[in-house]
Structure 1
């Protein structure tokens, strides 16, 4: 199983009513949640760990996980509210306003951490769940105790959400030092003051740098592989990076490379098909509104 550890929330997406009024529509989302959904839809053994509410929105999230073949048995439930994220779009790019105080996800503590079953082969972390305490520290603790499991991190940094920059930076760097795979954007690297080469030196086996329309650069100690982006008509970019993460992990699973040892021993050519699957899956997501990752049947043969 690939266990996605982090936030689930309700995206309040902008829409216009039939009367032309501006409104918001609630849609299940969250960066890590989206990755779990995409993994399940791609046919990989997907699991989700994060605080889920028993409220109306929490039931929506739980139902969406089940519908996309994601096992959420390890996710603790509470009666705290669900995190809300109001989304605005500028030229197809999303900006967010989060409402996260005292929520089921944010208030996750060490007491909620499960004993990981032996079938959990990989852990994925990222998103806003790594910002706000106590949940952020709980995920950091789970990452530190990953043992020999494969760890992938996508920081997906949102500076406007950071309240204690020093603690957040320290937490991120500790987790990145444990990561086997890092997916990172130009903006993330600028904020962190790092480069793919520096992340490799810090311990990562594979760094995936997203370059928008130019594609994905896969960097390891053995060199660099550029996978071009697929040309599609972009509706919006919500969930694109999350879907790429899922496609990459699903591709590693398909290729029998879902382990620390396998990824660290692999040549870039061996990893290329997984990177291409991530790019293909993300291309489908950006071609339609919202975070709506493809099902395996939509990208058969890739």
Structure 2
């Protein structure tokens, strides 16, 4: 099983109302939630660990997980409110304002960490759940405690404007990256983590020196690249589609990458250490295909296996 650990929230996405004005429609979202949904729809064995409210939005999130075949046994329920992300769209690209203080997601503490059995082979972390507060420290401690015991993938999905303390945020990311076997970044994430004019390949090597053996880099319309600590490199083109919006694109890429790695038997440390360029190209190509479906329609709406 792949256990996705991180935020589940409601994206308030603008839509035109029947009167012609602008309104907001609640859609299930959150980077880690989206990745779990994507994995479930691709037929992977997946569960989500997060804090979920008992309010109406929390019930909406839990129903969405069940509808997409995501195991909900590791949800931590409370009466606190659901995190909201108000989305602004410009030319199909999304920016976000988050309302997260005193939320169900922020309530997670080390005592809430699940006891894992041998069925859980892989942990996935990322998103805004690593940015602020005690919950972020809880996820980081979880990654550190499980490092070396299970395969760990992280996508920081950097949100610098959300960080209350950038130094703490960077330190926490360093902690999680050191625990990770796989890291996935956008080109913008990479430049924030490692500022400067060095080529992306050099920056990716610097990140792998901190711990990960595999680094995936997405470059929007320019496709994606994979860099392995053993020197292997692979690339794949992006899918040629009409982009409606980019909400959930990177998260869906992650679900495609994890699902393909699971299918290829790469979610095992020994197998991943020996991964070759053909396998990595297959991972990137499938992830790009899955993400291409998501950006071709509104919101974070990952495809089902049957749609591929």
SS at match of 1:50: strand
CA apart distance, 1:268: 2.4
Give distance in 2, aligned partners of 1:159 and 1:80.
25
2-side partners of 1:250 and 1:185: how far apart?
A: 19
Find the aligned partners of 2:283 and 2:34 in 1 and give their Cα distance.
18
SS in 1 for 2:89: strand
CA offset at residue 79 of structure 1?
0.6
Q: Is the 8 A contact 2:234 2:280 kept in 1?
A: no
CA offset digits 1:229-283 (Å, max 9, x no partner): 1101110000010000000000011111111221122112222212211111000
List structure 1 segments (4+ residues) > 6 angstroms apart after TM superposition. none
Paired residues, what number? 299
Q: Secondary structure, in 3 states, of the residue corresponding to 1:71?
A: coil
Q: Which residue of 2 aligns with 1:61?
A: 61
CA contact (8 A) 1:107 1:133 kept: no
Residue 161 (structure 1) aligned with residue 169 (structure 2)? no
**TM-score, length-normalised on structure 2?**
0.95
Provide the rounded CA distance (Å) in 1 between the counterparts of 2:62 and 2:270.
Answer: 33
CA RMSD of aligned residues (A): 1.0
Mapped partners of 1:223, 1:33: distance in 2: 31
Quote the residue 2:135 is aligned against.
135
Given the alignment, which residue of 271, 274, 277 partners 2:286?
277
1:141-290 alignment to 2 at 5 Å?
141-146=141-146, 147-193=148-194, 195-221=203-229, 222-290=231-299
Conserved? CA contact 2:249–2:291, under 8 Å: yes
Match of 2:198 in 1: none
Residue 190 of structure 2: SS of its match in structure 1?
helix
Separation (CA, whole Å) in 1 of partners of 2:307 and 2:170: 39
Match of 2:36 in 1: 36
**Alpha-carbon contact 2:225-2:284 (below 8 Å) kept:** no
Residue ranges of structure 1 left out of the alignment (5+ in a row): none
Q: CA deviation at 1:148?
A: 2.1
Distance (Å, rounded) in 2 between the aligned partners of 1:284 and 1:213: 14
Cα deviation for residue 22 of structure 1 reads 0.7
Secondary structure (helix, strand or coil) at the match of 1:76 reads strand
User: Does the aligned pair in 1 maintain the 2:41–2:305 contact within 8 Å?
Assistant: yes
